[in-house]
Amino acid sequence: MFNLGEPLVVPDVFDIRSLHALRLGGAASDEWRVKEQTVNSDFERFQTGAAKYAAYLETPEGRLRLDLAFANLREFLPQPTHSLQALDVGGGTGAIAVRLAALGVRVTLLDTSEPMLDFAERSAQKAGVAEKITLKHGDAAQLANLFPAAWFDVVVCHNVLEYVEDPCAILRSAAGCLRDRSGVISVLVRNQAGEVLKAAIKDGDLAASEHNLSAEWVHESLYGGRVRLFAAENRQAMLAAASLAVTAERGVRVVSDYLPLSISRNAEYERVFELERKLGRRPEFCAVARYWQCLARRGSDVKGA
C-alpha cells in the first residue's frame, strides 16, 4: 500500500453548462451552427446515456476492454516514492478511478457529464474508496486552467479523445499535467484498423470495411453517435505534438469480438482475457486490435521534464 498524502485541492468546480450556453450564444454562421449541433449531440450522449454506458461495462466486451486496459496500466504505474496522484480525464463512471484508488492512489476524475459523475460517486462509495477520489465537473478542453501544471504522477485518458473536438490539444494539456518524466500517461483510443476488420468480420459489411480504411469517423453501436478513429500515423503525430515518449503500445481486444458463438464470453472469460493479454503485447496483433493503448512519459523537450 502506498503512503497517503493530503488530497489534491482543486480550483472551484467548472460549470460546463455556462460554457455550453456561451458557445451557443456566439454561433453566427450556418457552418458554425452545424458544428455546434454535432458537438451538442456528442455532449448529450453522455448526459442521457450514463446508465447505458455503465451497463455496457458489465458486458463481456466492456469488462474485457476495462480489465485489459487496467492490467496494462498497472504494469507501468510509477514506483511510489510518495503518495501518487492520478488524473482520470473523461473518467466516466469511475471504473478505472476506483481501481487506482483501491491501490492507494489519490485520483481526481474529470468529466463533463454529471450523471457519469453520479455513477462514479456511487461506485467509489460502494468500493469504500470515496475519500481517495475527487470528482470534478469540467471540460478537458480547459485542463490547463483547471489543475496546477505538472501535478500528477499518472494521467489516464481512456476512450475520451474519440469524442472531443481537438484530441491533440487535449493530449498536449494532459501531458503537461504529468509531474515529471517518472509519471505515466495511459491513452486508449479506437483503432482505425480494428474498425476495418470489425466491419468485415463481425458485421459482414464489405463496403463499410473499405470505407473505414480511410474514415476519420464511424457510427458507434452503443449510442448511434459518431466516434473518431485513430490511424497509426495520426497517433504517432499526436504523441509527438504532445512531446510524449512511448514506453509501450498494447492492443486491446484483438480477437474477442470475432469469436464464434460456440465460445461462451462469460464462461470462458478468463481464458479469453489471458489470450488477449498475450496477443495485445505483440506488435503484429496490436496493429489490428479494436483499441490501441499507449503508455507514455513526458519527452525531454517538455518544460520542466
Nearer to ligand SAM, 135 or 302 (CB): 135
Nearer to ligand SAM, 16 or 286 (CB): 16
What distance in Å separates the CA atoms of residue 166 and residue 162, rounded to the nearest whole number?
9
Binder among 159, 173, 186, 209 for ligand SAM (CB under 6 A): 159
C-beta separation of 8 from 134 below 8 A: yes
Nearer to ligand SAM, 65 or 297 (CB): 65
Q: Mask 82-111, x = binds ligand SAM (CB under 6 A)?
A: --------xxx--x--------------xx
- State the minimum distance, in angstroms, from the CB of residue 253 to ligand SAM: 13
C-beta separation of 172 from 161 below 8 A: no
- State the minimum distance, in angstroms, from the CB of residue 162 to ligand SAM: 7
- State the minimum distance, in angstroms, from the CB of residue 171 to ligand SAM: 12
- State the minimum distance, in angstroms, from the CB of residue 188 to ligand SAM: 7
Binder among 133, 160, 254, 286 for ligand SAM (CB under 6 A): 160
Nearer to ligand SAM, 143 or 254 (CB): 143
196 binds ligand SAM (CB under 6 A): no
**What does the block give as the cell for 270?**
478468463
Q: Mask 23-52, x = binds ligand SAM (CB under 6 A)?
A: -----------------------x------
Binder among 99, 106, 136, 158 for ligand SAM (CB under 6 A): 158
Nearer to ligand SAM, 8 or 200 (CB): 8
HEC per residue, the chain: CCCCCCCCCCCCCCCHHHHHHHHHHCCCCHHHHHHHHHHHHHHHHHHHCHHHHHHHCCCHHHHHHHHHHHHHHHHCCCCCCCCCEEEEECCCCCHHHHHHHHCCCEEEEEECCHHHHHHHHHHHHHCCCHHHEEEEECCHHHHHHHCCCCCECEEEEECCHHHCCCHHHHHHHHHHCECCCCCEEEEEEEEHHHHHHHHHHHCCCHHHHHHHCCCCEEECCCCCCEEECECHHHHHHHHHHCCEEEEEEEEECCCHHHCCCCCCCCCCHHHHHHHHHHHHHCHHHHCCCCEEEEEEEECCCCCCC
Cβ-proximal residues to 231 (8 Å cutoff; 6+ apart), any chain: 192, 193
Nearer to ligand SAM, 100 or 110 (CB): 110
- The interface with ligand SAM within residues 111-140 (CB under 6 A) comprises 111-113, 116, 139-140
Stretch of 155-163, 250-258, 267-275, 288-296 contacting ligand SAM, by CB under 6 A: 155-163
| # residues contacting ligand SAM (CB under 6 A) | 19
Binder among 152, 163, 230, 292 for ligand SAM (CB under 6 A): 163
What is the contact surface with ligand SAM in residues (CB under 6 A)? 46, 53, 90-92, 95, 110-113, 116, 139-141, 158-160, 163-164
